[in-house]
A and B are shown apart, each in its own frame.
Chain A
């Protein structure tokens, strides 16, 4: 636990030691507001809720989270610092978890900084704040899922651009797993239960329920298991490939 904490603190601090943190946060906030007010029609809808805000999160994350996750391991491998880190008395699992949690905490900070929109909607009307909290929870869980996928793909390469592109594609596939774009690729040859299983993997479906204020344990569990699965994969990938 101690080692996870030490790695977590170093990682989180390293985001803020470079312009990355500030660029990321500013772009996230600007895009989130622009989408909410222009594409989402926040005012025109005349409803006191944050649906137009949360609806665009999956698409924002699709490009922003891979930018955050691409450096997790690719950078360590490129600079060779992974050799320094992994010869300290820590386990791979501690390193993977510490770095993932730092990236997740960072995205939580970015998400928390959208609080003015919550104040705005409360000032304009009386929204269901429980639903908004659930929406934030769903958004955070989805960010965690994307980050875990990104962590695993970042561990596979020492090139951050490759890590970014593969993560965008993988996240896109997970996002739209319940839609014809992805399902049609399986329908031709896979059995119906397989197609159904793929459909149930959709980030979008699981997120939509949460963003509407419905806490279904299955949705929470789904994101939790996705995160766990990809972090375990990260450990395995690193164990096999860390020195190459």
Chain B
């Protein structure tokens, strides 16, 4: 469990983190979102016990980070931003060093080292020095280091930054796999990450908490929530569709994206009607119109909302 109370960090006149109070329970994967410079890393560093708060407090697994620092650090696995490590060391030497610092011994040490090596597919590079590794491998070494002692709390600062799509997928499935019995905080500015792994998201901007919700709840704040989008075959049909949509009482506004020829009708909030069938009225109106015109709607879909849109409107 992580619990913060009015967590604040100031650097001179700059307040990097401003009065953050939140609570995370085991089993949750918390996405920590915010634009660059919003205070994500500063918060992660405070939770990991690297920097001390200017005021306020944080408890990890019941241990106060300021009065019981070592106990708190023991139950945390932390991947710092950029996955720093000792470049001249071999992967084997580095993981062994961390295992020693984490107090792993004997059989348990061997088993955990084998487990993380296999889980993060580091077997082939164990004897290579870390500075010769690609960015993806370095990130994996950082992750291996973080989960080595099987901590109940995992803090991952931008775990997929700079990875290719395959590696991102690997890291995300690793997070999903560990999510069952751990508490995981993932800081990121990649929004797809939130829908891919998180059960809850906190958005901060200029050091302040501006949203705390489930990914679905956040998406629902989007003006695209329950919007209906589709494509049409001909330019003429497109023109008549735009005109017809603009006339419908269910439609608040119409947007057209040139690149993929996609037409999106944003719903008029008052006409959304029955909460159990959101967007249905709009969908009916549009399909009814298309049938009457004898047009085929391609890629017809009701949107659940766009996170990037919400993110911009909250943090900009």
Give the interface of A toward B (CB within 8 A).
Answer: 2-3, 6-7, 10, 13-14, 17-18, 79-81, 83-84, 86-91, 242-244
Shortest Cβ gap from B98 to chain A (Å): 7
B102 cross-chain contacts in A, Cβ below 8 A: 88-89
A243→B16 CA distance, assembly (Å): 13
Shortest Cβ gap from B93 to chain A (Å): 7
Q: Are A81 and B101 in touch, CB under 8 angstroms?
A: no
**Which of B49, B82, B93 is within 8 Å of A87, CB to CB?**
B49
A18 and chain B: residue at smallest CB distance: B88
A91 cross-chain contacts in B, Cβ below 8 A: 70
Question: Contacts A80-B80, A80-B82, A83-B80: A88 and B98 contacting too (C-beta < 8 A)?
Answer: yes
**Which of B51, B88, B129, B145 is within 8 Å of A84, CB to CB?**
B145
**Which of A7, A10, A18, A242 is within 8 Å of B50, CB to CB?**
A242
Q: Are A84 and B85 in touch, CB under 8 angstroms?
A: yes
For residue B224, CB closer than 8 A to chain A, the reply is: no
> How many residues does chain B have at the interface if contact means C-beta atoms less than 8 Å apart?
29
Q: Are A243 and B84 in touch, CB under 8 angstroms?
A: no
What 1/0 mask marks residues of chain B from 35 to 73 whose CB sits below 8 Å from any chain A CB?
000000000010011110000000000000000001001
Shortest Cβ gap from B53 to chain A (Å): 12
A-B interface, 6 closest residue pairs, ranked by CB to CB distance from nearest = A80-B84, A83-B80, A17-B88, A88-B101, A243-B51, A89-B73
A84 cross-chain contacts in B, Cβ below 8 A: 78, 80, 84-85, 145
How many CB-defined contacts (below 8 Å) exist between A and B? 66
Q: Are B70 and A10 in touch, CB under 8 angstroms?
A: no
Question: Contacts A87-B78, A89-B73: A3 and B101 contacting too (C-beta < 8 A)?
Answer: yes
A242→B45 CA distance, assembly (Å): 12
B48 cross-chain contacts in A, Cβ below 8 A: 83, 87
Q: Are B101 and A17 in touch, CB under 8 angstroms?
A: no
Shortest Cβ gap from A40 to chain B (Å): 36
A3 cross-chain contacts in B, Cβ below 8 A: 101
For residue B22, CB closer than 8 A to chain A, the reply is: no
For residue B100, CB closer than 8 A to chain A, the reply is: yes
Q: Are A6 and B70 in touch, CB under 8 angstroms?
A: no
B84 and chain A: residue at smallest CB distance: A80
A89 cross-chain contacts in B, Cβ below 8 A: 70, 73-74, 101-103
Question: Contacts A3-B101, A81-B84: A87 and B50 contacting too (C-beta < 8 A)?
Answer: yes
User: Would you give 17 A-B contacts (Cβ < 8 Å), ordered by A?
Assistant: A79-B87, A80-B80, A80-B81, A81-B84, A81-B86, A83-B45, A83-B50, A83-B84, A84-B80, A87-B49, A87-B50, A88-B101, A89-B70, A89-B101, A90-B70, A243-B45, A243-B51
Shortest Cβ gap from A234 to chain B (Å): 17
What 1/0 mask marks residues of chain B from 90 to 103 whose CB sits below 8 Å from any chain A CB?
00010001101111
A81 cross-chain contacts in B, Cβ below 8 A: 84-86
B157 and chain A: residue at smallest CB distance: A83
A3→B102 CA distance, assembly (Å): 9
For residue B2, CB closer than 8 A to chain A, the reply is: no
**Which of B74, B84, B97, B129 is within 8 Å of A10, CB to CB?**
B97
Shortest Cβ gap from B145 to chain A (Å): 7
Q: Are B50 and A14 in touch, CB under 8 angstroms?
A: no
